[in-house]
C-alpha cells in the first residue's frame, strides 16, 4: 500500500536555528534596558545616600507634583519639587522604583540632609532606599546577565542539526519507511529523533538523527510509534522524517489530506509493521 506521493520537486521547510544576528540584537536590547535602569536609578541612589539616617523635614523646598504607578508588587514613583538655592529656585525630579505590597494613595513629605537644605529628597525615597538598591540591582543583573548570555550565544552561534537534510529541497522525493528509536536528546526548543530506514537488502542501513520542534512528532504509522514515514531523493544518501502536521515539506492542502487519509488506512489495516 504505497503512499500517494506527488511526482514533482518539493521544498523542504525545516525550522532554522536562531541566527547570530538575532541573538546580537537581543543582546543589545538587554544591555540598553540594563543601562537605562542604571541611568534612572543609580544617580538618585548616590544623591540620597548622605540623607539615609541623617534627614530632617525640608525647610526651603516645595512639593510640585507626584505620581506613583504600581504593577502588582512593583511600584514606580515620579516626584517633582522646587528648592531655593543661591541662584534662585531650582526644580528637581526624583524617579524611584521599589517592590512593595501597597494599594491606595500615598502621602509625600520632602526631607533634607541635616544642616544642608541644598540636598533634598522625599520620605518615600529614603524609607525605601535599600529596597530601591535591591530592585535596581535585581533588574540590572537580570538584563545585564541575560545580555551576556545572549552575547555568548551570538559569538558561538548554534549549529544547525538539520543542515544535512536541507540539500533535499527542490528535488523529487520518494517515501521511505523508517524504524523510530525515539527521542535521543531534547532541549528547550527541540526534540532530536533517532531513526533508521527499513532494511531492503543484506547491508545495514545508516542511522539518522533529526531535530523537530518541541511537541512535534514524526509522521508515525502505528499506535506504538515504532514506524514512521520519511523521504529521500534519488541518491538516497539522506533520509528525512516527515512531521505529523506535514509542515516541513511543501505539500499542497490536497496532497496533505491524501497522505493523512492513507495513514489512517495503513493504521487500520495494520500494515506499518509488515
Residue 255: domain span: 9-17+160-269
User: Do 226 and 109 lie in a common domain?
Assistant: no
Q: Are 27 and 13 within one domain?
A: no
Say whether both 170 and 225 belong to one domain. Answer: yes
Q: Where are the beta strands (DSSP E) in the chain?
A: 9-10, 55-57, 61-71, 74-85, 88-99, 110-113, 116-122, 171-172, 174-186, 190-197, 208-213, 227-232, 239-241
pTM: 0.56
187 in the same domain as 263: yes
| 247 & 230 share domain | yes
Say yes or no: 199 and 215 in one domain: yes
151 and 29 inside one domain: yes
26 & 118 share domain: yes
Last residue of a domain, one of 120, 155, 190: 155
Q: Over its length of 274 residues, how does the chain's per-residue pLDDT go in tens digits?
A: 688 999 999 999 987 766 667 778 888 898 999 899 899 899 999 999 999 999 999 999 999 999 999 888 999 999 999 998 888 899 999 999 999 987 778 889 999 999 899 899 999 999 999 999 999 999 999 999 988 887 877 776 567 778 889 889 999 999 999 999 999 988 888 899 999 998 776 778 899 999 998 989 999 998 888 999 999 999 989 999 999 999 999 999 999 999 999 998 887 776 554 4
Number of domains comprising the chain: 2
Residue 1 located in a structural domain: no
Amino acid at each position: 500500500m504505497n503512499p500517494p506521493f506527488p511526482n514533482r520537486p518539493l521544498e523542504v521547510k525545516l525550522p532554522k536555528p536562531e541566527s547570530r544576528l538575532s541573538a546580537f540584537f537581543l543582546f543589545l536590547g538587554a544591555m540598553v534596558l540594563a543601562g537605562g535602569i542604571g541611568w534612572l536609578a543609580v544617580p538618585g541612589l548616590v544623591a540620597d545616600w548622605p540623607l539615609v539616617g541623617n534627614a530632617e523635614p525640608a525647610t526651603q523646598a516645595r512639593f510640585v507634583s507626584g505620581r506613583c504607578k504600581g504593577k502588582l508588587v512593583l511600584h514606580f514613583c515620579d516626584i517633582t519639587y522646587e528648592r531655593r538655592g543661591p541662584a534662585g529656585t531650582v526644580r528637581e525630579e526624583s524617579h524611584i522604583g521599589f517592590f512593595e505590597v501597597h494599594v491606595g494613595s500615598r502621602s509625600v513629605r520632602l526631607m533634607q540632609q541635616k544642616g544642608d537644605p541644598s540636598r533634598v529628597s522625599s520620605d518615600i525615597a529614603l524609607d525605601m532606599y535599600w529596597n530601591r538598591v535591591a530592585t535596581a540591582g535585581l533588574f540590572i543583573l537580570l538584563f545585564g546577565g541575560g545580555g551576556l548570555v545572549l552575547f555568548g550565544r551570538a559569538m558561538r552561534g548554534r549549529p544547525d542539526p538539520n543542515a544535512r537534510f536541507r540539500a533535499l529541497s527542490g528535488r523529487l522525493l520518494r517515501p521511505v519507511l523508517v524504524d523510530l528509536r525515539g527521542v535521543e536528546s531534547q532541549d528547550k526548543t527541540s526534540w532530536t529523533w533517532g531513526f533508521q530506514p527499513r532494511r531492503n537488502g543484506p547491508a545495514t542501513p545508516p542511522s539518522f538523527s533529526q531535530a523537530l520542534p518541541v511537541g512535534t512528532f514524526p509522521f508515525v504509522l502505528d499506535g506504538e510509534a515504532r514506524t514512521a514515514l520519511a523521504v529521500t531523493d534519488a541518491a538516497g544518501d539522506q533520509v528525512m522524517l516527515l512531521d505529523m502536521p506535514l509542515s516541513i515539506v511543501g505539500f499542497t492542502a490536497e496532497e496533505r489530506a491524501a497522505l493523512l487519509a492513507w495513514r489512517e488506512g495503513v493504521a487500520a489495516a495494520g500494515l506499518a509493521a509488515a
